[in-house]
Structures are given as C-alpha cells and as structure tokens.
Amino acid sequence: MSATGTWKLSIATPVGEQTPVLILIEDAGTLTGELTLPGAASVEVKHGVALGDQLTWTSAVTSPIAITLNFDVTVRGDTLEGECSSAMFPSFPVTGRRA
C-alpha cells in the first residue's frame, strides 16, 4: 500500500507532544511532501525513501526549536509508528493515522 496521503502524527518529544500534519507523495520508492506543526510554517520532506512498508525521511523544523528530525517509521494500512531522532536528543516515539 502506498504511503501517499495526509497523515496526522503524534510525536512525544522532550518539549511535549507535537501533532504535525504530514503530507506524503510516494513515487517509485521516493518520498516527497511537507510536514506542518501547528502554528508553524511547513517544512519539506527531504531524503525520503520508501522500502516496502518502511519509510525514512528528514525534515528541518524551526519551531518550537530549530532542529533536523530523522524519521524511521513502519506503515501498516492506515497507521504508522516508529521513531524520530536528532543529533540533539535521543529517539522519541512517533505514531500516526491517515487523515
């Protein structure tokens, strides 16, 4: 099943739960799109790869702090779960549901 679509995420970060909206476009194993945190500007999905149900990408956010986030998630139908990491913090859990 393609990961293309809109996803509502929940990320348990050290600065509290974040609830971004993720728009993904999957094309021949490449992911593009955008990640939007509430009250913040949208940022690009970069270096996105889809290998079967495994998705990885990075997004450089500026709010609530400036940080590059590395996502590694598994899609199962209309849900996803995995982790998000950065150079500044340990990994934290990510879950999502297709909107």
Q: What is the domain extent for residue 26? A: 5-98
Q: Is 81 left (phi over 0), alpha (psi -120 to 50) or beta?
A: beta
What are the tens digits of pLDDT across the range 40-92? Answer: 889 999 999 999 999 999 999 887 778 899 999 999 999 999 999 998 888 99
CATH of the domain at 47: 2.40.128.120
Q: What is the pLDDT of residue 14?
A: 76
Q: What is the pLDDT of residue 79?
A: 97
Give the predicted TM-score (pTM) of the model.
0.93
How many domains does the chain fold into? 1
Contacts of 31 (CB under 8 A, 6+ apart): 3, 24, 25, 45, 48, 49, 50, 55, 57
Binning pLDDT at 50, 70 and 90, where does residue 28 land?
very high
